[in-house]
């Protein structure tokens, strides 16, 4: 068996250097634990960045995928397939949206949402100079369209020019949205809870004001639920907490629990007046294997009462993090909803995360000063206690 150090050396010779990876080669997972190639065990509070909601090595999930692999993996979207039909029906049910387009990733879902919004506006007035309002500190993905609405100038700088006519407003500041609205505005896009940008939940009043503005001016509200969706806030989609329904929304990450899938969904009104035959496509999106992952994930969410667990354990995690925040003067505050939480420090958190890793706890940051907690949604209170104990020992040092 090669040791971890050798693997890492090989990786650094072959992979493009776009990530500063932690010095760990992960090998297998079970429940809320991961194991590296040398057999060391880690409690996982990252879940592959809010992806593996059901925990690792779930028997029913694995069996469903294996069965589909033996049956049919791919057909192309020129034909129908049963898993995709089932998955679309299930997504409609849990999201309350009317129509679904499957993608392979979150960024692609955002691309599709942008195209749908532009087409909707184009069909109204025939113009091709429509504007989109996005939020500062937002994150929507790394492809050119998704990057163009991502509110982190550092991510965009070297790749200019972006797609045009994007304006940035301040999240939870309705005045700043109003300042950016023009006759050309076709959509307003934001994450119901900002993830990468620092775990900033949208305020209910802000959502309601933006929604009212959108209705008044026939602007489309696009909510990016790629990270905060799929039960993480204690609601299947975070907007359901506020009852502010988007016109278009995106989903990915936990939607496939590890199989690369995404989707954008829309209301019938938008569907009937935007993308049509020939306007958009994907070779892989919604293929039988990907769709079977969505199906078994949504079945397991129901069977295992995942959302009830998030409500209960999320409240407990909130309490424990608040206690921690009150104890240490270098922790400024806690932000978040359910099992999507951030601890805001008044200094960089990189060293704490590295120390935690040495002690067998996987954490991630959101920006330089925030530790982000996005564990598998099946965690228990005792997993939270275990995490807090390790984190506390890191903070003591
Ligand atoms: C991760 C993420 C994306 C991008 O998803 P990819 O699958 O990495 O392309 C987009 N929006 C939000 C809110 C995300 O968290």
Q: What is the pLDDT of residues 115-154, one digit of tens each?
A: 999 999 999 999 999 999 999 999 999 999 999 999 999 9
Shortest-distance Cα residue to atom 10 of ligand 1: 140
d(CA 349, CA 368): 6
> What distance in angstroms lies between residue 106's CA and the mean position of ligand 1's atoms?
4
> What distance in angstroms lies between residue 224's CA and the mean position of ligand 1's atoms?
9
Query: Between β-strands 26-30 and 33-36, what pairing exists: parallel, antiparallel or unpaired?
Result: antiparallel
**Rounded average pLDDT over 287-301:** 98
Ligand 1 pocket, residue 200 CB under 6 Å: no
Ligand 1 pocket, residue 149 CB under 6 Å: no
What is the sign, positive or negative, of the torsion defined by CA atoms of 102, 276, 92, 189?
A: positive
Ligand 1 pocket, residue 191 CB under 6 Å: yes
Report the half-sphere exposure of 237 (CA within 13 A, side-chain side): 27
d(CA 379, CA 259): 21
Q: What are phi and psi of 130, to 5 degrees?
A: -75, 155
pTM beyond 0.95: the answer is yes
Say whether pLDDT at 103 is over 80. yes
Q: What is the pLDDT of residues 8-22, one digit of tens each?
A: 999 999 999 999 999
Ligand 1 pocket, residue 141 CB under 6 Å: yes
> What distance in angstroms lies between residue 164's CA and the mean position of ligand 1's atoms?
21
CA of 142, closest atom in ligand 1: 9
| CA-based nearest residue to 373, from 211, 130, 210, 198 | 198
CA of 194, closest atom in ligand 1: 13
pLDDT at 266: 98
- Mean predicted lDDT score pLDDT of the chain: 97
d(CA 117, CA 165): 13
Ligand 1 pocket, residue 252 CB under 6 Å: yes
CA of 191, closest atom in ligand 1: 13
> What distance in angstroms lies between residue 109's CA and the mean position of ligand 1's atoms?
9
Q: Quick one: pLDDT band at residue 1, thresholds 50, 70, 90?
A: low
Q: Quick one: pLDDT band at residue 397, thresholds 50, 70, 90?
A: confident
Q: Where are the alpha helices (DSSP H) in 59-180?
A: 59-71, 82-95, 106-125, 144-148, 153-156, 174-180
d(CA 305, CA 283): 34
d(CA 112, CA 252): 13
Query: DSSP strand E in the chain: where?
Result: 26-30, 33-36, 41-44, 99-103, 131-135, 166-169, 185-191, 193-194, 200-201, 220-224, 248-251, 262-266, 331-337, 340-345, 361-362, 364-365, 370-373
**Three-state secondary structure call for residue 44:** strand
Q: What's the length of the chain?
A: 397
> What distance in angstroms lies between residue 179's CA and the mean position of ligand 1's atoms?
27
Q: What is the pLDDT of residues 316-327, one digit of tens each?
A: 999 999 999 999
Say whether pLDDT at 243 is over 70. yes
> What distance in angstroms lies between residue 184's CA and the mean position of ligand 1's atoms?
27
Orientation angle between helical segments 288-303 and 306-327, nearest 10 degrees: 80
**Rounded average pLDDT over 285-311:** 98
* Exposure string for 271-301, b = 16+ CB within 10 A, e = fewer: beebbeeeebebebbbbbbbbbbbbbbbebb
Ligand 1 pocket, residue 104 CB under 6 Å: no
Ligand 1 pocket, residue 139 CB under 6 Å: yes
- Evaluate whether 231 touches 298 at the Cβ level (below 8 Å): no
d(CA 190, CA 133): 9
Say whether pLDDT at 182 is over 60. yes
CA of 105, closest atom in ligand 1: 7
Q: What is the pLDDT of residues 68-95, one digit of tens each?
A: 999 999 999 999 999 999 999 999 999 9
- Evaluate whether 334 touches 317 at the Cβ level (below 8 Å): no
| CA-based nearest residue to 330, from 316, 315, 351 | 351
Ligand 1 probe mutation, 225, 226, 251, most atoms within 8 A of CB: 226
Q: Quick one: pLDDT band at residue 107, thresholds 50, 70, 90?
A: very high
> What distance in angstroms lies between residue 126's CA and the mean position of ligand 1's atoms?
31
| CA-based nearest residue to 381, from 312, 325, 303, 304 | 312
């Amino acid at each position: 068996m090669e040791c971890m150090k050798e693997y890492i050396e090989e990786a650094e010779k072959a992979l493009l250097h776009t990530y500063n990876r932690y010095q760990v080669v992960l090998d297998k997972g079970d429940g809320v634990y991961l194991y590296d190639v040398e057999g060391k065990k880690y409690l996982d509070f990252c879940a592959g960045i809010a992806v593996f909601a059901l925990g690792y090595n779930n028997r029913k999930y694995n069996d469903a995928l294996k069965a589909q692999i033996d049956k049919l993996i791919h057909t192309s979207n020129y034909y129908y397939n049963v898993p995709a039909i089932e998955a679309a029906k299930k997504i409609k049910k849990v999201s309350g949206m009317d129509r679904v387009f499957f993608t392979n990733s979150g960024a692609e879902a955002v691309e599709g949402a942008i195209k749908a919004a532009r087409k909707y506006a184009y069909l109204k007035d025939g113009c091709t100079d429509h504007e989109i309002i996005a939020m500062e500190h937002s994150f929507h993905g790394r492809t050119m369209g998704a990057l163009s609405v991502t509110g982190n100038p550092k991510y965009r700088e070297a790749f200019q020019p972006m797609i045009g006519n994007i304006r940035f407003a301040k999240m939870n500041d309705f005045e700043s949205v109003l300042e950016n609205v023009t006759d050309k505005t076709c959509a307003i896009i934001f994450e119901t809870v900002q993830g990468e940008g620092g775990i900033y939940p949208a305020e209910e009043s802000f959502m309601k004001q933006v929604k009212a503005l959108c209705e008044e001016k026939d602007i489309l509200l696009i909510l990016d639920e790629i990270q905060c969706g799929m039960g993480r806030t204690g609601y299947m989609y975070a907007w359901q907490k506020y009852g502010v329904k988007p016109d278009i929304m995106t989903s990915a990450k936990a939607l496939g629990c590890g199989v690369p899938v995404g989707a954008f969904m829309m209301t019938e009104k938008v569907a009937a007046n935007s993308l049509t035959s020939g306007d958009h496509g994907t070779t892989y999106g919604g293929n039988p294997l990907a769709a079977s992952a969505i199906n078994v994930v949504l079945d397991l969410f129901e069977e295992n009462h995942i959302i009830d667990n998030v409500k209960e354990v999320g409240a407990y995690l909130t309490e424990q993090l608040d206690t921690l925040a009150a104890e240490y003067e270098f922790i400024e505050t806690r932000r978040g909803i359910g099992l999507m939480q951030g601890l805001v420090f008044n200094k960089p958190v990189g060293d704490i995360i590295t120390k935690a890793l040495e002690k067998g706890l996987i954490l991630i940051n959101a920006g330089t000063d925030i530790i982000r907690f996005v564990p598998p949604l099946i965690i228990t209170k005792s997993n939270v206690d275990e995490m807090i104990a390790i984190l506390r020992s890191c903070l003591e040092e």
